[in-house]
């Protein structure tokens, strides 16, 4: 008897000595079991027993399902099902689920992935979880728009809902979430343009909206460090970035202007730039290779032009470069060739490399293609730099006119006087087949405007 009492005393003493050794409030334990039931008793929660003390006992915890408490209240709930989970049966109610969840009022961190959750996120219920800081509800079957109720979660820092079926536009009210730093909605069905108000989110650091159906130009994203917009229909303008940016993935979109070489040159922290599979034109700024932090650079599958120089330099962190399928000429920089541990892809350009393993087009191919993309849309002409192009065309036409005039005058030497200039132009046009004139014009345009006018255009001219 006495021994028993001592044991109990000892165990009570040891209980109270352990940090956080308070049993979970019974109502919260009940809620946890209710959640398990609403999830259809998934195998991942098989270790939860009626006598499990979620805050104290450690045995029930697995890497895929665990609870953390502060004193007698749940602050973290993590339930990660098996990849490929089917949707829960039609009897499942996302409303009931979040109602139960809201009875864990101190919840700060919530992970509910691969559980077959389906339905629209119930904004009203979610907004009761006022302390939420980090939420990951990836790989479920959530649909509908992001509910306005989310904007009432004033402490929310991270919202990850990748691989769901969330739709509609990205809402402008996101700017009302003062602490939101990470927003990831990869592989959903978001549509339309991004709200300008994204630029008014001083805390936002990481924006991942890859594999949706977004279109139009991106707003200014100068606070962001991580941008992943791959596989949408965004463009044509390259977005305005800030100097702190570390990773920019714009692969598989409809960007078709040039790369802003000056802006990118000041991105000293940029580690990853992937603009592959777009319609970019204009000169490839080789200075990207030598950015101090650059590790991963892909411009594959665009129409970048320019003559690379064998002596261009590379940054010391560079480990992956893909220049494939562009219109580059010149020589592959030596720093890319002699590069153990580096992956360097450059096939389907017009480079002279001495390396036959990555086949190249003959250089006229790149030149002709460059000329073809050199015909810029109307808007290109309005840009200030385009004036130079217009002047150049006028000068060229003038030169043709003069030489035509010479031919004309020599041929028709017996005519007493040169005709007025206007007539000469007409004759020039007929003396030179119209396609020749057009070609000459194209040439100039491509030289001057391949990079959409201005400074870039002149660089292109120098590079071709």
Binding site for ligand NAG (CB under 6 A): 50, 80, 111, 113, 136, 138, 160, 163-165, 187, 189, 191, 213, 215, 309, 311
Integer Cα distance of 198 and 170 in angstroms = 10
CA distance 447 to 444: 5
Give least dist CB 293 to ligand NAG, A: 21
Which tokens hold the place of 114? 């691969």
Which stretches of 215-317 are DSSP H helices?
261-265
> Smallest gap, in angstroms, from Cβ of residue 66 to ligand NAG?
13
C-beta of 81 vs 453, nearer to ligand NAG: 81
Whether 243 contacts 223, CB under 8 Å: no
Minimum separation from the CB atom of position 215 to ligand NAG (A) = 5
In the complex, least distance from residue 262 CB atom to ligand NAG, rounded to whole angstroms: 19
What is the C-alpha to C-alpha distance for residues 397 and 445, in angstroms, rounded to an integer? 13
- Residues, the chain, total? 464
Closer CB to ligand NAG, residue 8 or residue 165?
Answer: 165
Nearer CB in complex with ligand NAG: 115/371:
115
Least Å distance between CB 304 and ligand NAG?
A: 20
The CA distance from 247 to 379, in Å, is 30
* Of 164 and 247, CB closest to ligand NAG: 164
Backbone angles phi, psi at 103, to 5 degrees: -85, 10
Give the burial class of 417: count Cβ atoms within 10 A of its Cβ; 0-12 exposed, 13-18 middle, 19 or more buried: exposed
Q: Is 442 exposed, middle or buried (0-12, 13-18, 19+ CB in 10 A)?
A: middle
Pick the closer one to ligand NAG by CB: 111 or 325: 111
For ligand NAG, the closer CB: 187 or 305: 187
| Residue 272: CB atoms within 10 Å | 19
* Smallest gap from residue 160 Cβ to ligand NAG (A): 4
């Amino acid at each position: 008897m006495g021994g028993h009492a001592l044991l109990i005393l000892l165990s009570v003493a040891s209980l109270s000595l352990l940090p956080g050794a308070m049993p979970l409030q019974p109502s919260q334990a009940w809620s946890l079991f209710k959640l398990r039931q609403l999830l259809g008793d998934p195998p991942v929660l098989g270790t939860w027993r009626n006598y499990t003390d979620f805050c104290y006992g450690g045995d029930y915890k697995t890497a895929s399902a665990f609870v953390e408490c502060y004193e007698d209240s749940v602050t973290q709930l993590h339930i990660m099902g098996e990849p490929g989970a089917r949707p829960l049966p039609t009897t499942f109610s996302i409303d009931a689920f979040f109602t139960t969840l809201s009875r864990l009022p101190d919840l700060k961190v919530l992970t509910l992935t691969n559980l077959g959750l389906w339905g629209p996120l119930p904004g009203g219920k979610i907004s009761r979880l006022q302390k939420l800081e980090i939420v990951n509800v990836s790989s479920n079957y959530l649909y509908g728009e992001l509910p306005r109720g989310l904007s009432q979660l004033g402490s929310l820092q991270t919202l990850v809902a990748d691989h769901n079926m969330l739709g509609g536009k990205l809402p402008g009210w996101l700017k009302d979430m003062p602490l939101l730093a990470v927003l990831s909605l990869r592989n959903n069905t978001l549509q339309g343009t991004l709200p300008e108000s994204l630029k008014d989110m001083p805390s936002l650091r990481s924006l991942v909206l890859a594999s949706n159906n977004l279109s139009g130009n991106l707003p200014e994203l100068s606070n962001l460090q991580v941008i992943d917009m791959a596989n949408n229909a965004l463009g044509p303008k390259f977005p305005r970035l800030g100097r702190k940016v570390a990773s920019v993935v714009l692969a598989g979109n409809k960007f078709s202007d040039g790369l802003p070489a000056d802006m990118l040159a000041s991105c000293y922290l940029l580690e990853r730039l992937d603009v592959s599979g777009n319609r970019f034109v204009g000169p490839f700024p080789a200075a990207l290779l030598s950015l101090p932090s650059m590790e991963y650079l892909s411009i594959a599958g665009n129409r970048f032009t320019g003559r690379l120089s064998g002596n261009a330099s590379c940054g010391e962190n560079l480990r992956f470069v893909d220049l494939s399928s562009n219109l580059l000429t010149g020589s592959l920089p030596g720093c890319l060739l002699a590069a153990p541990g580096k992956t360097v892809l450059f096939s389907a350009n017009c480079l002279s490399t001495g390396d036959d393993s990555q086949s190249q087009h003959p250089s006229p191919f790149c030149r002709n293609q460059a000329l073809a993309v050199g015909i810029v849309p109307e808007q290109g002409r309005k840009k200030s730099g385009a004036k130079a192009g217009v002047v150049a065309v006028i000068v060229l036409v003038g030169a043709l006119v003069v030489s035509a005039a010479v031919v004309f005058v020599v041929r028709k030497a017996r005519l007493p006087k040169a005709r007025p200039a206007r007539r000469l132009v007409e004759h020039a046009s007929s003396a030179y087949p119209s396609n020749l004139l057009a070609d000459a014009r194209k040439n100039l345009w491509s030289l001057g405007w391949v990079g959409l006018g201005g400074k870039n255009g002149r660089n292109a001219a120098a590079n071709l």
